[in-house]
Amino acid sequence: GAVVSQHPSRVICKSGTSVKIECRSLDFQATTMFWYRQFPKQSLMLMATSNEGSKATYEQGVEKDKFLINHASLTLSTLTVTSAHPEDSSFYICSARSVPQNTEAFFGQGTRLTVV
């Protein structure tokens, strides 16, 4: 399958700081990338859909000013958690779809964020 690289895999930050997570499609162009959050023993919850060159579409209840998403190219999307708080600690996972539209999505390795 296609390769999606997510970085960093783990990050610990202080409360009130911002953290940027990168998601790259290494061997294909991704017009659409998705950002998920997963709390322990829970399923993946879609946070937002990111389309290259346009604003992200956020799911209900997700603060777009807190979770900034940028999808500037067909191979890179970033998620910035601004003014992080301990309740933002979670496993963040991106996924990407290739062009032309192929419904299979490939996942990055995930980022374990801990806010202390």
Binding region for another protein (CB under 8 A): 1, 6, 32, 34, 42-46, 49, 91, 93, 95, 97, 101, 103-110, 112
Question: What tokens appear for 112 in the block?
Answer: 């374990």
Q: Which amino acid is at 40?
A: P
H/E run at residue 71: strand 67-73
Q: Which amino acid is at 91?
A: F
28 alpha carbon, distance to own chain's centre? 17
Residues listed for the chain: 116
Q: How far is the CB of 68 from another protein (least distance, A)?
A: 20
Q: How far is the CB of 83 from another protein (least distance, A)?
A: 26
Q: How far is the CB of 110 from another protein (least distance, A)?
A: 4
Nearer to another protein (CB atom), residue 6 or residue 25: 6
Nearer to another protein (CB atom), residue 69 or residue 108: 108
Question: What tokens appear for 47 in the block?
Answer: 């946070």
